[in-house]
Chains A and B, each alone.
Chain A
Amino acid sequence: MLTPEERQEIEAEFPHYPNKRAVCLDAMKVIQRHRGWVSDESLRDLGEILDMTADELDGVATFYNLVFRKPVGRHIVLICDSVSCWIMGYEKLCQRLTSRLEVNLGGTTADERFTILPIVCLGTCDHAPVMMVDNDLYRDVDPDKIDEVIEKYK
């Protein structure tokens, strides 16, 4: 069941669009904000509010890179693997990060602290290589100082 708080936040999106369907991505993001990811059950519950089937919602959800249909860690690390970052040392950064956290790209650490995902160009190419942790952007990341970033997130 969606919580009253989730329902309220989803309904607050309705005035921004002419129909309920258009709210579906915002609604999935509301659920994700509260639960970290969007489960099959959440899609069924959401479908009742938006008059959509869970399958229709899943069809939308699976198109978007940042709707998570599997459980993720407490913090999301997005590491840019696009061209400018690749030229400026993405591979070394990625290798340091995955070996430091003992997890492959796309995976979640055993303590569920981090999920590491590749992301397309983050639009900060003059400060490559670039990564994000949750809402925080890190520019000119030095692979040798990756611990300083990691330690900020518990």
Chain B
Amino acid sequence: METPLTRNIPTNGDGPLNLKGYEKAGGYESLRKALHMPPADVTELVKKANLKGRGGAGFPTGTKWSFVPMGKDAPHPKYLVANADEMEPGTFKDRLLLEGDPHQLIEGMIVAAYAVQADIAYIFLRAEYTLAAERLSKAIAEAYENHHLGKNILGSTYSFEMHLHVSAGRYMCGEETGLLNALEGKRANPRSKPPFPQVSGLWGKPTVVQNVETLCNVPHIVNNGPDWFKSLSHTADGGTKLYGVSGKVKHPGLWELPMGTTIREILEEHAGGMRDGVKFRGLLPGGASTDFLTGEHLDVRMDFTEVQKAGSRMGTGTMIVLDDHTCPVGMLSNLEHFFAQESCGWCTPCWSGLNWAARILGTMEEGRGQPQDLEKLEFQTKFNAPGHTFCALAPGAMEPLQSALKYFREDFERHISEHRCPWK
């Protein structure tokens, strides 16, 4: 089984490869190759490979790039942004790529930038990833010294600048357009779309924003071709995927596996199943803003299409497991508190609705829930549905809630009828 994304990442706690070591392992080959190709051909390879965005939404990457204005009349500078603001609760995959192989990300960014003929890049990194900041700064400096960045990259006519932007903390910065405002030195409120960032993004110029894991796939597609990339996967979505499990399993962790690996294999073989004495009740398949799946879904393949058919989303691919010793209402209370706190306050359904939902759940946990609370919560899941808000934060927040009301309804009802949390 091939693991292109993690093959260079030391498992013994050593630091990442430096530029020399990375090149010795075959690194920057895709850059050399791409620089001899017409930019549109690079985009075409990524399209054919069926690479889908690994940040959670699963939008086809090549298609996104094809929206960028090209040719001599295209506005410049164009920008490329790596979204390294990993802050989705339960998600810990980009940290590994950032800390473990910074040159892989840089190479992926240069090749992606070349495809859309971008001039300037930012890596938008969350402040708490201090080790990643240190390693990325060093790798970027090395890349400049060796003419992999800057003017006339590797002797070509292509020039490209890269900057590291370390943020100051807020979940909203991970939202594509909120991120653009944050980079411009503003509050990270979302922008209305259209115009889409590919046409009018950073400072009004064409901008492509991609998740770290997405960009790390790009060099391997260019090196080995779309057919190879598709052959890595069990399903139609190409490539491998970083899957993670947290919660009360025997071996929580992160693994690079073929896209479309079943939930059962990830949970039982890789995470070792549940800890002794606790039983599985359900899981959020890809971070806090995905719908619960339960025991009946264990044979679902983890890719963008199959998880959706099961009524959820693959999201970031890092699962959070709910066990029978953990109160589902308490878990929901924690989740909705997070979303309410991180709401930017820009649109009413979100700032008002999420706070309302969080308070109801908090009250229910304390044993002061009312029978009509379930209706109120259900109202919120509709009030904050997609299309009612500026961005995906509130609809995402409703995904675990609406599914918990469906699968764990009895637990909510017990909180209300017994005037207490049965787990306390």
Contacts and interface: CB of A to CB of B under 8 A. Distances in A.
Interface of A: 16-19, 21-26, 28-29, 59-60, 63-67, 78, 81-84, 86-88, 119-128, 132, 135, 137
B318 interface: yes
A125 B91 contact: yes
A60 B185 contact: yes
Contacts of A122: 128
A84 B247 contact: yes
Given A67-B168, A124-B95, A127-B252, A132 B89 contact: no
Task: Please report whether the interface of chain A is mostly helix, strand, loop or mixed according to DSSP.
Answer: mixed
Interface string B313-330: 000001011110010001
B95 A83 contact: no
Interface in B293-311: none
B338 interface: yes
B288 interface: yes
8 nearest A-B residue pairs (beta carbon): A125-B246, A65-B169, A64-B168, A126-B252, A66-B169, A82-B89, A84-B246, A63-B187
B186 A60 contact: yes
B288 to A, nearest CB: 6
Given A16-B163, A67-B168, A125-B91, A120 B342 contact: yes
Nearest to A135: B130
B344 interface: yes
Contact of A88 (B165, B169, B247): B247
A120 B338 contact: yes
21 contacts: A19-B203, A21-B186, A23-B185, A24-B185, A63-B170, A64-B167, A83-B89, A83-B334, A84-B320, A86-B334, A87-B331, A119-B169, A120-B342, A121-B90, A121-B91, A123-B91, A123-B126, A123-B129, A124-B92, A125-B244, A137-B130
Given A17-B185, A21-B185, A60-B185, 10 more contacts: A22-B183, A66-B168, A84-B90, A87-B320, A119-B169, A120-B341, A121-B91, A123-B87, A123-B128, A124-B95
Given A28-B168, A123-B129, A83 B320 contact: yes
A94 B95 CA distance: 24
Interface residues of B, number: 55
B88 interface: yes
Contacts of B245: 126
Contacts of B184: 21-22
Contacts, number: 130
A127 B247 CA distance: 9
B141 interface: no
A97 B252 CA distance: 25
A25 B338 contact: no
Contact of A87 (B95, B130, B182, B248): B248
Nearest to B129: A123
A25 B168 contact: yes
Contacts of A59: 187
A19 B326 CA distance: 50
A86 B333 CA distance: 11
Contact of A66 (B127, B182, B185, B288): B127
A3 to B, nearest CB: 21
Contacts of B331: 83, 86-87
B253 interface: yes
Nearest to A130: B92
B335 A83 contact: yes
